[in-house]
């Protein structure tokens, strides 16, 4: 049977796109091809189709207008690092932190899996822009998929549709080619594969967002980090937030944290009363990914390449993150959460203390939250919410030029080692601080508590090339930016007392630390030089309204040299992985740290 191409409008005349789509159609053999133009009419028809087949369920139109519920298969609930590959032509270019396979070998392995995989199905051609349409920092992708779930999520997460081709033009070949098929959702044959030199991503046998929304981590970090290295910009796993002072001036900060360290909470921070009363405001530009490029004035500018939030539902509530919860109230897709049958809404653990009794759990089984000993929502259940829903979304969210960055912040979960906040001595030292970033495992995560896991710049699973070269790219960017480079800081909200209780209140009160950071950027605050970097004087952290005095802040800022000597040993071990690809500047920084600790 001949494939039918349904093109409501001719979306592009770009031969590079058309030829590649034709090749993939010939390989996958769908019954029909539908080009996604992004129109409401087309999307409404796809939603209706997904609801009619049971792939998705429409939720309460009064309480959750435009919202849908979806369930993945039980074997398909998270990103799978073991099945994620970087297929650079040379193995050494993938580096020791990525799974590598020869691209020829991987294409040979996967091509038969895709051969005829879409027979009896529709292939959707999704053009999308990562970043605002027309932005010089934006990039174009085309994802081919046999999943309506992917189309509807990509509509939320990206600028999807015909307009995406505006940045590409008629002749450019600079677009990311994404091929996805659900196939049989077979975990034994599940692959998420990146070919950086070919601008290509292939994903098969998964229907879960993190593996199939190819604009997200696959393009926006793994492929984009490689593009950024070659083109002189940066793709980072960083939130972007703006702090507006009472005079109406806004300063922007990016921050990178490993998972479970409060990244989304910080991105959507609500100022504590002492700052709110004074007229300060916080604006969200992005909660997950930043693309950064030097602007015409030599400063570093950032855009959020995404258009929505792909958030973890459990633990999100009105207290932990009011703004994130508000973002989910309309036109949101919920995946693997509880369906409350009494009013056809959703619920998850940590939403409130009133679980529904008449409900369906994430597996599709009847569930009573009052009596069941099983969780109703999967721990990695998700919401895909439009950024425009967020009450604190920045007015600069769609600014094609991006926002100028004053400070870059790194952080992890450390019980004793890292102080509440310190500033790097300079950019090179800041790259050292970011490259050695680590978090300690918690009791919830594993039996062994306090194991240090290094996650440089929170990019360990997402760097699309050799991490030693990635560190070098950071150092090169610093040279390019010179004295206009953002200042670099490290924070730790997770210092504990001897009983294991957190000392710092966290959440909105983290703004108190950000204010010192911005004062340092503007030359308005003093600092004390320590062996690890510049620290605030305890009295320079505003604790008004907190049940904490400056002696507690002094304790939070203390640097235990013996612990840091142990830390240095761990850094030596970690750096050894990178061999001669580790920039000499970083081994020199480690040596200098050890000398300062010995003083």
413 is in an annotated binding site: yes
3-class state of residue 79 by DSSP: coil
Pairing of strands 487-491, 191-195: unpaired
The annotation status of 382 as a binding-site residue, yes or no, is: yes
Q: How far is CA 490 from CA 216, 229, 532, in A?
A: 26, 24, 10
Q: Is 209 a known ligand-binding residue?
A: yes
> Which of left, alpha, beta for 80 (phi over 0: left; psi -120 to 50: alpha)?
beta
Q: Convert the pLDDT of each residue in 185-242 to its tens digit.
A: 999 999 999 999 999 999 999 999 999 999 999 999 999 999 999 999 999 999 999 9
Of 595, 387, 594, 593, which Cα lies nearest the Cα of 490? 593
Which residues form the catalytic set? 261
Is 260 one of the annotated binding-site residues? yes
Nearest to 96 by CA among 519, 593, 579, 595: 579
**Is 297 annotated as contributing to ligand binding?**
no
| Residue where the block lists tokens 């997904």 | 50
Residue recorded with tokens 């994430």: 362
* Short-list 169, 176, 77, CA closest to 126: 176
**How much is the pLDDT for 131?**
98
| Cα separation, 379 vs 350, whole angstroms | 11
Contact by Cβ (8 Å): 205, 182: yes
Angle at 25 between CA 24 and CA 26, to 5 degrees: 90
Q: Is 380 annotated for ligand binding?
A: yes
Given the structure tokens 């300690």, which residue do they identify?
440
Residue 218 is classified by DSSP as I
Residues in the chain, pLDDT under 50 = 7-8, 444-446
The torsion angles phi and psi of 468, rounded to 5 degrees, stand at -60, -40
* CA distance from start to end of the chain: 78
| 531 carries a ligand binding annotation | no
Residue 446 has a pLDDT of: 40
**pTM confidence score:** 0.97
- Distance (Å, rounded) from C-alpha 389 to C-alpha 570? 43
Query: Any binding-site annotation on 587?
Result: no
| pLDDT score recorded for residue 9 | 54
Is 97 annotated as belonging to a binding site?
no
Q: What pLDDT score was predicted for residue 450?
A: 77
Q: Is 507 annotated as a binding residue?
A: yes
What pLDDT sits at residue 11? 92
* Strand residue runs (E) in 196-262: 200-204, 234-236, 239-244, 250-256
Domains in the chain, ordered, with CATH? 4-55+79-232 (3.40.449.10), 236-307+395-598 (3.90.228.20), 308-389 (2.170.8.10)
Distances (CA, A) of 26 to 35, 179, 589: 16, 13, 54
Does 508 belong to an annotated binding site? yes
Question: What is the C-alpha separation between 571 and 61, in angstroms, rounded?
Answer: 53
Q: Is 210 annotated as a binding residue?
A: yes
Report whether 210 contacts 78 (CB < 8 A).
yes
Q: Which pLDDT does position 2 carry in this prediction?
A: 64
Please give the Cα distance from 493 to 488 (Å, whole number). Answer: 17
Residue 263 among known ligand-binding residues: yes
What is the token pair recorded at 405? 């960055």
Q: Is 288 part of any known ligand binding site?
A: yes
């Amino acid at each position: 049977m001949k494939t039918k191409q349904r093109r409501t409008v001719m979306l592009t005349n770009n031969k590079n796109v058309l030829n590649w789509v034709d090749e993939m159609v010939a390989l996958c053999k769908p019954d029909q091809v539908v080009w996604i133009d992004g129109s409401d009419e087309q999307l409404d028809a796809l939603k209706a189709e997904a609801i009619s087949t049971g792939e998705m369920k429409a939720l309460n139109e009064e309480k959750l207008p435009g919202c849908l519920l979806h369930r993945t298969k039980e074997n398909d609930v998270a990103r799978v690092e073991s099945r994620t590959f970087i297929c650079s032509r040379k193995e050494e270019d993938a580096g020791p932190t990525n799974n590598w396979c020869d691209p020829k070998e991987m294409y040979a392995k996967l091509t038969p899996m895709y051969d005829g995989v879409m027979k009896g199905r529709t292939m959707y051609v999704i053009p999308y822009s990562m970043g605002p349409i027309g932005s010089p920092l934006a990039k174009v992708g085309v994802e081919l998929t046999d999943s309506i779930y992917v189309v509807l999520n990509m509509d939320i997460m990206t600028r999807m549709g015909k307009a995406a081709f505006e940045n590409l033009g008629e002749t450019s070949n600079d677009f990311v080619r994404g091929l996805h098929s659900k196939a049989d959702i077979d975990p034994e044959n599940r692959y998420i594969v990146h070919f950086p030199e070919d601008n290509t991503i292939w994903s098969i046998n998964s229907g879960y967002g993190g593996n199939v929304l190819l604009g997200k981590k696959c393009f926006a970090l793994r492929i984009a980090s490689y593009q950024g290295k070659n083109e002189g910009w940066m793709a980072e796993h960083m939130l972007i937030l703006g702090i507006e002072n009472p005079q109406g001036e806004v300063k922007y900060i990016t921050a990178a944290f490993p998972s479970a360290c409060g990244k989304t909470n910080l991105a959507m921070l609500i100022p504590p009363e002492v700052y709110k009363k004074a007229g300060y405001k916080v604006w969200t530009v992005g909660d997950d990914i930043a693309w950064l490029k030097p602007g015409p004035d030599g400063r570093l500018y950032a855009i959020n390449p995404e258009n929505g939030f792909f958030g973890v539902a459990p633990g999100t509530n009105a207290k932990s993150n009011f703004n994130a919860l508000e973002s989910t109230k309309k036109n949101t897709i919920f995946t693997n959460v509880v369906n409350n049958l009494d009013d056809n809404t959703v619920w998850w653990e940590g939403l409130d203390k009133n679980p529904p009794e008449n409900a369906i759990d994430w597996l599709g089984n009847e569930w009573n939250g009052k009596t069941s000993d099983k969780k109703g929502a999967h721990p990695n259940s998700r919401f895909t919410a439009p950024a425009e829903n967020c009450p604190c979304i920045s007015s600069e969210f769609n600014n094609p030029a991006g926002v100028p960055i004053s400070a870059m912040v790194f952080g992890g979960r450390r019980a004793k080692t890292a102080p509440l906040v310190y500033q790097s001595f300079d950019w090179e030292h800041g790259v050292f601080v970011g490259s050695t970033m680590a978090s300690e495992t918690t009791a919830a995560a594993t039996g062994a508590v306090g194991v240090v896991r290094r996650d440089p710049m929170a990019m360990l699973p997402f760097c699309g090339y050799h991490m030693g070269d990635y560190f070098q790219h950071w150092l090169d960017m610093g040279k390019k930016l010179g004295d206009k480079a953002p200042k670099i800081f490290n924070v730790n909200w997770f210092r504990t007392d001897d009983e294991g209780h957190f000392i710092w209140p966290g959440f909105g009160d983290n703004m108190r630390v950000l204010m010192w950071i911005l004062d340092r950027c503007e030359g308005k605050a003093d600092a004390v030089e320590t062996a690890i970097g510049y620290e605030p004087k305890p009295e320079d952290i505003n604790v008004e309204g907190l049940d904490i005095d400056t002696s507690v802040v002094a304790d939070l800022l203390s640097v235990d040299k013996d612990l840091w000597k142990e830390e240095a040993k761990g850094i030596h071990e970690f750096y050894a992985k990178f061999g001669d690809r580790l920039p000499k500047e970083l081994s020199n920084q480690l040596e200098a740290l050890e000398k300062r600790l010995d003083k």
